[in-house]
């Protein structure tokens, strides 16, 4: 078994849980883990995704020098990163991180890896100008799209609106943020749902 295959086996379950719990596409998680950590060899304190430790992080922290990109090209910067006890903990926190940050809300629930790879670069996750292409290359080379849910599986997670239902109550019942349900179903006004309406959950 190759180094790459061994690494992907270690992160696959966490990537799939990221979809189940937070609707982050598994292939994206796997590709980011590989790209950001050099297939695990450059993971700083088991941080596979290069997630920095901002004010919202209350766990352990490690400081390291990183390569960033700006208007004048590449440069080095000293940054603080989240530290984890294992790759598994890092993988689970990755999906939670994307889910909790509003700027990434546009990629939650999306099943097209091309779109998701484009959105995460556009949303500012990385400064590398070739970030989208690098993610897509990993997904396609290692066929990580097989990790992703099929359209049929997605359609099975639907709910028919009943009398008395409100979108706010449904969001709480199914453990989904209200704004996420609105986006998933293209609903501009959360107060305007109707009996018999089919919602993606």
The single residue of 16, 93, 112, 180 carrying the catalytic annotation is: 93
As a whole number of angstroms, the distance between CA 91 and CA 46 comes to 9
As a whole number of angstroms, the distance between CA 114 and CA 132 comes to 8
Is 93 marked active-site?
yes
As a whole number of angstroms, the distance between CA 85 and CA 72 comes to 36
Distance of CA 118 to the CA centre of its chain: 12
Please state, as a whole number, how many other Cβ atoms lie within 10 Å of the Cβ of residue 70.
Answer: 9
Q: Name beta bridge partners: 77.
A: 66
What end-to-end distance do the CA atoms of the chain give, in Å? 38
The single residue of 68, 77, 100, 168 carrying the catalytic annotation is: 68
Please state, as a whole number, how many other Cβ atoms lie within 10 Å of the Cβ of residue 76.
Answer: 9
Q: Are strands 61-70 and 158-160 parallel, antiparallel or unpaired?
A: unpaired
* Residues known to be catalytic: 68, 93
């Amino acid at each position: 078994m190759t180094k790459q295959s061994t690494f992907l086996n270690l992160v696959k379950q966490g990537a799939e849980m990221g979809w189940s719990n937070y609707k982050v596409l598994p292939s994206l998680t796997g590709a980011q883990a590989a790209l950001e950590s050099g297939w695990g060899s450059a993971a700083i304190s088991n941080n596979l995704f290069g997630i920095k430790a901002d004010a919202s992080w209350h766990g352990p922290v490690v400081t390291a020098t990183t390569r960033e990109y700006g208007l004048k090209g590449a440069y080095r910067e000293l940054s603080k990163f989240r530290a984890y006890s294992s790759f598994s903990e890092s993988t689970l926190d990755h999906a939670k991180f994307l889910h909790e940050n509003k700027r990434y809300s546009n990629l939650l629930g999306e099943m097209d890896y091309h779109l998701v790879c484009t959105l995460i670069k556009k949303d500012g996750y990385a400064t590398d100008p070739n970030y989208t292409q690098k993610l897509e290359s990993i997904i396609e080379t290692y066929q990580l799209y097989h990790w992703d849910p099929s359209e049929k599986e997605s359609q099975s997670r639907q709910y028919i609106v009943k009398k008395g239902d409100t979108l706010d109550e449904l969001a709480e019942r199914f453990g989904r943020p209200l704004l996420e349900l609105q986006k998933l179903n293209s609903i501009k006004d959360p107060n305007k749902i109707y009996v018999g309406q089919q919602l993606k959950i």
